[in-house]
């Protein structure tokens, strides 16, 4: 396994283009099973979750070709109906295959995703919605076993104890696209990724209205066709992560492709913390504050503050002046990053679904282990701001949702390199780290000690 070795960063500066949204492309890949014609998807991020979904599609007999950021999926040989545990266990989002398998094959056998370190993530809303469309479902030997004749449109309420479900909304919407009659999905998820999936289905010939609101109307059609060329939306979570990296290092960064309309709650909180954010057509400009201010944050379903950025803003607030309170309303157990941040000098206490962050103004480097995808991003950001070297392990989580984030950060001037876990890297100046990462001789070899920057220097 690899680890990231991170040195304290000078202010990050420059321009990056935000990659496609991982949480959009996975259900869209599943939706390609709803037709026997090929579809071409653009702006696809090369992350391990996408690779896992490709493995599942291949196992189902689907032809796939992935080059650059363009993905071609041709279900001409689609013959299976089983999504096995060894693949589903790698990625909970593979549950979104359930609806398309039922709609096309009339049956599905999809492994239950199993436990999750950020807390329970039940599939009851998926099953409830598909049963309302006429599916017969049983749980046997850890698998969801579902069968149906022709699905029939219905009125479906998808409200749960913690609000709506993005993947359940997508599953029901995909199945309803090929059902007889009209389906009304009430208490639907409003996230941009749901809208992206609906727009992709419309490009295939589906009849869908109301996406982006709490009620979605789906009029079933006899068949769908392939989508000749569809571009995935930019990843709002990646954009938010990079914006916080700029803010934590005293930098100034332009994020091309970032959608301000998808990030309104995040922009509001960053501005409240003192970060300057300028919204321009097709981009965001982020400039760090002279002094970060404490803010209170509550994660909520869209358009509220996203749970997938809770860990990252917690890392940022460790550097703020004052006391911040973070409340997690989506996954109350999503705080495994707290002890790791405390190992880096943070002062965070947790009680139930609330964490109190006492801003210390600085962090120190440490060896830390990521527990999940977004926690890994938070630890990387903390490492950029820490006064000494940080080693982040558990990169298999990071790679699930970020495409070469260390390369992106180096392009902005960060000091970090990926190395085998058993290898030790002595603190080095930026030009050496960058040169090693690019596989070229490093200039200035006589200067082997990394300079430590004062807070004032980092903000210049």
3-state secondary structure of 415: strand
Between the CA of residue 340 and those of 305, 383, 460, what are the distances in Å? 23, 11, 29
Which of 32, 96, 116, 148 is an active site residue?
A: 116
| Residue with token string 């490009």 | 203
- State the alpha helices, DSSP H only, in 7-47: 22-31
Q: Is 32 a catalytic residue?
A: no
* Cis peptide upstream of residue 303 (ω within 30 degrees of 0): yes
- The DSSP bridge partners found for residue 370 are none
Instruction: Tell me the C-alpha distance between 38 and 165, whole Å.
Output: 28
Would you state the structure tokens that stand for residue 266, as one six-digit string?
């995040």
State the Cα–Cα distance between residues 231 and 257, nearest whole angstrom: 12
Adjacent-strand bridge partners of 155: 184
CB 408 within 8 A of CB 242: yes
Within 10 angstroms of residue 327's Cβ, the number of other Cβ atoms is 16
The DSSP bridge pattern shows strands 70-74 and 82-83 to be unpaired
Which residues are part of the catalytic machinery? 116
């Amino acid at each position: 396994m690899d680890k990231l070795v991170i040195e304290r960063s000078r202010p990050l500066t420059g321009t990056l283009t935000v990659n496609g949204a991982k949480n959009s492309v996975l259900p869209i890949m599943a939706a390609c099973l709803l037709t026997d014609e090929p579809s071409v998807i653009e702006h696809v991020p090369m992350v391990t979750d996408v690779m896992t979904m490709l493995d599942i599609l291949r196992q189902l007999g689907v032809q796939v070709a992935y080059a650059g950021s363009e993905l071609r999926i041709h279900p001409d040989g689609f013959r299976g109906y089983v999504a096995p545990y060894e693949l589903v266990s790698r990625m909970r989002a593979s549950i979104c295959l359930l609806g398309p398998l039922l709609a096309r094959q009339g049956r599905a056998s999809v492994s239950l995703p199993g436990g999750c370190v950020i807390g329970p993530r039940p599939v009851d809303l998926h099953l409830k919605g598909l049963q309302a469309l006429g599916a017969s479902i049983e749980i046997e030997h850890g698998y969801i076993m579902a069968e149906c004749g022709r699905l029939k449109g219905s009125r479906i309420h998808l409200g749960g104890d913690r609000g709506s479900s993005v993947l359940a909304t997508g599953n029901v919407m995909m199945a309803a696209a090929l059902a007889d009659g009209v389906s009304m999905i009430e208490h639907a998820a409003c996230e941009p990724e749901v809208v992206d999936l609906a727009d992709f289905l419309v490009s295939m010939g589906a009849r869908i209205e109301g996406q982006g609101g709490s009620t979605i109307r789906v009029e079933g059609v006899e068949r769908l066709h392939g989508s000749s060329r569809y571009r995935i939306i930019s990843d709002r979570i990646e954009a938010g992560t990079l914006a916080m990296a700029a803010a934590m290092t005293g930098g100034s960064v332009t994020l091309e492709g970032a959608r301000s309309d998808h990030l309104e709650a995040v922009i509001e909180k960053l501005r409240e913390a003192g970060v300057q954010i300028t919204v321009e057509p097709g981009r965001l400009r982020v400039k760090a504050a002279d002094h970060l201010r404490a803010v209170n944050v509550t994660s909520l379903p869209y358009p509220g503050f996203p749970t997938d950025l809770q860990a990252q803003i917690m890392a940022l607030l460790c550097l703020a002046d004052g006391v911040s309170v973070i409340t997690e309303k989506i996954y109350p157990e999503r705080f495994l990053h707290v002890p790791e941040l405390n190992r880096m000098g943070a002062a965070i206490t947790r009680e139930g679904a609330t964490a109190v962050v006492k801003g210390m103004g600085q962090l120190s480097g440490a060896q830390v282990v990521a527990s999940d995808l977004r926690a890994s991003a938070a630890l990387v950001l903390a490492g950029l701001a820490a006064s000494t070297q940080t080693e982040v392990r558990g990169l298999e989580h990071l790679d699930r949702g970020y495409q070469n984030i260390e390369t992106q950060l180096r392009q902005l001037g960060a000091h970090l390199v990926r190395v085998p876990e058993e290898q030790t890297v002595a603190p080095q100046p930026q030009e050496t780290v960058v040169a090693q990462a690019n596989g070229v001789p490093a200039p200035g070899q006589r200067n082997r000690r990394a300079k430590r920057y004062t807070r004032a220097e980092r903000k210049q």
